[in-house]
Amino acid sequence: MEVPLVKGAVSFLKVVSQQLPVYLASVTPEEELNQILEARGLSSWFRGVYGCPPWTKPGAIRDVLAKEGVQPDEVILIGDSAGDQQAAEQCGIGFIARDSGLRFPVPPALLFKDLNEIEKYFRSNIS
């Protein structure tokens, strides 16, 4: 609840959620995750939230694909861990990495230091 937000998180969510559906998948248990998002005033930015349990990240990705009626090549996962990278690969979706200091088994093609940089990338490349 008291962990600082990733640099650029609020700006990123404001910009991107107006253009694209944004979902959150986390290893935090879903009930706790929803409480945190609500308490911090972040819930409204997400079209859906998936916590673990009950969801796995690949399961959440597949559910989003079905709900949105989109193909894997139309989806991007932004993540900060090897687990995120593996879930994206397993589901055949794009992956953008945020450098959290954790190691990735395969160096990501797109690696940014924070969400400010990812927002700039989106502004330039995603329409």
Does residue 3 lie within any of the structural domains? no
Instruction: State the CATH number of the domain containing residue 44.
Output: 3.40.50.1000
Query: Per-residue pLDDT tens for 2-14?
Result: 888 999 999 999 9
In the chain, how many domains are there?
Answer: 1
Does residue 2 lie within any of the structural domains? no
Query: How far is it, in rounded angstroms, from Cα 55 to Cα 61?
Result: 10
Q: How far apart are the first and last CA of the chain?
A: 33
Does residue 57 lie within any of the structural domains? yes
Does residue 62 lie within any of the structural domains? yes
Query: Per-residue pLDDT tens for 45-90?
Result: 999 999 999 999 999 999 999 999 999 999 999 999 999 999 999 9
Residue from 6, 59, 1 nearest 34 by CA: 1
Structural domain boundaries enclosing 19:
9-125
